[in-house]
Amino acid sequence: MRFMTRSLIAVFLGALALGLLAVAGGMVRDTLADRAAQENMPRMARERVFTVRVMRLEPGAMSPVLSAFGEVVSRRTLELRAPSAGRILEMADGFEEGAAVTAGQVLVRLDPADATAARDLVRTDLSQAEDELRDAQAALELSHLDRAESEAQADLRQRAFERRQTLSERGVGTEATVEEAELAFAAARAAVIARRQAEAQAEARVATAETAVERQRINLSEAERRVTETAITASFDGVLSDTNAVAGGHVASNERIASIIDPDSLEVSFRLSTAQYLRLLDAQGALIAARAQVALELGGLEITSPAVLSRAAPSVGEGQSGRLVYAAIDAPRGFRPGDFVTVRITEPELPGVAMVPAAAVDAQGGVLVLAAEDRLEAATVEVVRRQGDSVLIRTGALTGREIVAARNPLLGAGIRVRPQRDAAAEIPAAPDLVALDPERRAELIARVSANTRMPEQVRTRILAQLEQESVPSQLIERLEQGGGRQGG
């Protein structure tokens, strides 16, 4: 009985397995038949639609901004050099790198012993020259008297000779007496000539003595100047740089001791291409006084100052190209000579231009314009300026129409798109600037000044930025969120 039961169960399971295999085979057959039927049916083409950002061309008057990199330099620098060799006798308190000095302050004093001795010797020589001049003047006065006496004796001898000659003509005198009188007159004339020669020599002696006195006076002035130059002073208010002197040290003639830089008189030098330089010239070919902005990056923050173009270098320079231009910095606080800065120059205004992203225009000036039924068509615009991620174009007949803000290789003429008109297609705006009231400005300055963990250089530059009329809102937010608290 048990054997029969097991046999029936085995038969049932075998029949069930065969049934399942038959069902599976039918399903596979139906699937293959459906696929073959679909392959034989004609396919319908489906148009692909791309989503793009578009922007409207609205031309207006814009001032292009030309960016360049430059270096801050001092407009007024004084090199302190030793006028003569000598030993440094004393130095001013605080004679060190970065120390502030005032005009007329004695910074270094050299040993004046040699210069004083030389001055005293020149004074002695001057006294001798003056004595020689007095002697020559006295001798000249005596020569004047001697010549006058000789001329008087010559006049007397002449009258005597004429009288003897008259008596001889009357038969009273003899020929011998006339000859004696004539010889005496000739001797008197010779004496007058000798006295005149002596007088001329005396006058020449006086002139020589006067020249010697004047020369010694010049030497004395030079010697006194050298004594004065042993005290090296500052010509204007500034800060010391490149100090190279120690008390008691010996310096050579014309050796540089230090330099004085005026921190309130700075400018930035930067190089432009010839094409960029030509855009900054007026009708007469002179450099225009264009406004500019000098910016110094500092760990995500930026110190800025207005500036104005002042001049251009007269020559290109060996191995250089373009033009070297200088701009005077209006608010130099926070800047130092040698800083590498960004200069943004505002060019003359251009009418009838529009600003679009650089990705909207290809290298040949082509753009994709949104046409009817949201399809694209190709057009060409005139590129006026390329500045960073933006370009200035002349729209022409495309004024008021919409263009693709960011091209890609999949887009082209005739392609249908789904336009997106949102703020993402606009040019990113410049950082917001906030005008602070006196109370809020004083609070922020006090917060930065109380931060003992902030580096001194960073603190100085942030304070310089806070003292400007407009302050970036990002800086204000960082300070108010704890960036300027003590220990933060």
Segment 67-87 mean pLDDT: 89
Task: Choose the final residue of a domain: 301, 323, 346.
Answer: 346
Residue 32 lies in a domain: no
Q: Are residues 118 and 141 in the same domain?
A: yes
Cα angle 138-140-145, degrees, rounded to a multiple of 5: 100
Q: Are residues 125 and 167 in the same domain?
A: yes
> Which of these ranges, 11-15, 188-192, 481-485, has the smallest mean pLDDT?
481-485
Residue 7 lies in a domain: no
- Strand ranges inside 75-159, DSSP E: 77-81, 86-91, 100-101, 106-110
Segment 317-321 mean pLDDT: 81
Domain span including residue 256: 80-111+238-260
Of residues 334 and 483, the one with the higher pLDDT is: 334
- The dihedrals phi and psi of 36, each to the nearest 5 degrees, come to -65, -35
Segment 264-272 mean pLDDT: 91
Give the Cα separation of 360 and 379 in Å (integer). 12
Q: Are residues 326 and 367 in the same domain?
A: no
pLDDT bin (cut points 50, 70, 90) of residue 173 is: low
Segment 104-126 mean pLDDT: 89
Which pLDDT value is given to residue 486? 41
Task: Render 181-250 in DSSP notation, one character per residue.
Answer: HHHHHHHHHHHHHHHHHHHHHHHHHHHHHHHHHHHHHHHHHHHHHHHHTTEEE-SSSEEEES----TT-E
State pLDDT tens for residues 238-266.
888 888 888 888 888 888 888 898 888 89
Percentage of the residues of the chain whose pLDDT score is greater than 90:
12
CA 113, 117, 120, 122 torsion-angle sign: negative
Model confidence, pTM: 0.59
Give the Cα separation of 162 and 142 in Å (integer). 30
Which pLDDT value is given to residue 432? 63
Residue 340 lies in a domain: yes
Q: Are residues 97 and 125 in the same domain?
A: no
Segment 13-17 mean pLDDT: 78
Q: Are residues 224 and 316 in the same domain?
A: no
Q: Are residues 204 and 308 in the same domain?
A: no
Q: How many helices (H) and strands (E) does the chain have?
A: 7, 25
Residue 160 lies in a domain: yes
Q: Are residues 224 and 128 in the same domain?
A: yes
Assigned token pair, 143: 């020569």
Angle subtended by helix axes 456-466 and 438-449, to nearest 10: 180
Residue 306 lies in a domain: yes
Of residues 469 and 126, the one with the higher pLDDT is: 126
Q: Residue 482: how many CB atoms within 10 A of its CB?
A: 10
pLDDT bin (cut points 50, 70, 90) of residue 45 is: low
Cα angle 442-444-445, degrees, rounded to a multiple of 5: 65
Q: Residue 294: how many CB atoms within 10 A of its CB?
A: 27
Assigned token pair, 47: 């148009």
Q: Is 4 helix (H, G, I), strand (E, B) or coil?
A: helix
> Which of these ranges, 275-289, 360-374, 424-438, has the smallest mean pLDDT?
424-438
CA 481 to chain centre: 37
User: Into how many domains does the chain fold?
Assistant: 5
Residue 75 lies in a domain: no
Q: Are residues 253 and 107 in the same domain?
A: yes
Give the Cα separation of 406 and 241 in Å (integer). 52
Give 238: exposed, middle or buried? Use CB within 10 Å, 0-12, 13-18, 19+. Answer: buried
Give the Cα separation of 462 and 471 in Å (integer). 10
Q: Which of 16-20, 157-161, 286-290, 470-474 has the highest mean pLDDT?
A: 286-290
Is the pLDDT at 3 greater than 90? The verdict is: no
Which pLDDT value is given to residue 198? 83
CA 252 to chain centre: 32
Q: Are residues 271 and 131 in the same domain?
A: no
Q: Residue 432: how many CB atoms within 10 A of its CB?
A: 11
CA 205, 211, 214, 218 torsion-angle sign: negative
Assigned token pair, 147: 């010549």
Of residues 396 and 73, the one with the higher pLDDT is: 73
Q: Pick from 151, 159, 152, 155: which is nearest to 195 by CA?
A: 151
Is the pLDDT at 348 greater than 80? The verdict is: yes
Q: Could you tell me which residues come within 8 angstroms of residue 43 by beta carbon, excluding any fewer than 6 positions away?
A: none
Residue 23 lies in a domain: no
Q: Is 314 helix (H, G, I), strand (E, B) or coil?
A: coil
CA 298 to chain centre: 20
Give the Cα separation of 37 and 50 in Å (integer). 33
Q: Are residues 408 and 464 in the same domain?
A: no
Bridge partners of residue 232, in order along the sequence: 108
Q: Could you tell me which residues come within 8 angstroms of residue 165 by beta carbon, excluding any fewer than 6 positions away?
A: 178, 181
Q: Are residues 137 and 285 in the same domain?
A: no
Residue 285 lies in a domain: yes
Assigned token pair, 120: 């005293």
Q: Are residues 90 and 118 in the same domain?
A: no
Q: Which of 3-17, 32-46, 386-400 has the highest mean pLDDT?
A: 386-400
